[in-house]
Amino acid sequence: MPIAELRELSKSYQMGPTEVHALREVSLAFDKGDYAAIMGPSGSGKSTLLNILGCLDTPTSGAYYLGGEDVAGLTDSELSDIRCRRLGFIFQSYNLIQQLSVLENIEVPLFYQGWSAHESHERAAALGQLVGLGDRLHHRPSELSGGQQQRVAIARAMANDPLVVLADEPTGNLDTATGREILAMLDQLNARGKTILMVTHDPSVAQHAHRIVRLVDGRVVDDR
């Protein structure tokens, strides 16, 4: 069974009198351990696709199965619970909480799952060590470089041991050398069996994936 599967999924928006078709009957399946890059020109639907895969948006029609469960018709509250338990997110802009320390930022998903303070501290500290920030756990994001902030975001994405990690232009705000370090970290996570679905416009970043899905005008035109 695929870990994430879209079946004839479409998404449209009403913009005044105009109906915009962001996705058109997309069917895709991702297995456990996949590492896929989603590419396409501006307006191709790749961000909409990532939002639906991440349960941040719902389709107009079609089905989306995550871990075998059809999540396309769930309520906002149910989708929030799915995001908390089953998904990890890495954003281009890091999306860290500036008032919290590295340790506390990593703990955020665990707080919403009801972990005890002791257990969440231990888990977050271990993940901080894993991404090379063991000596920065009590620093705030403003005291870190861009690459270090993205490492925190990766650790936070892994906190709940997600079924799928969704990465949106994860190296977009980083210099080339730091971007390579972050991609090496994602490569390592995938080598350990983690499923990674990544939106990127950069062919050199996409080459780290084992599969490239290309969208044009809301349709899948290539998948290999």
pTM over 0.85: yes
Low-confidence ranges of the chain (pLDDT < 50): none
Residue 193: its pLDDT value, please?
96
Residue 202 Cα distances to 56, 119, 171, angstroms: 24, 38, 9
Residue 59 Cα distances to 25, 134, 219, angstroms: 10, 41, 14
Contact of 10 with 26, CB cutoff 8 Å: yes
Domains delineated in the chain? 35-59+76-223 (3.40.50.300)
DSSP annotation of 141 reads G
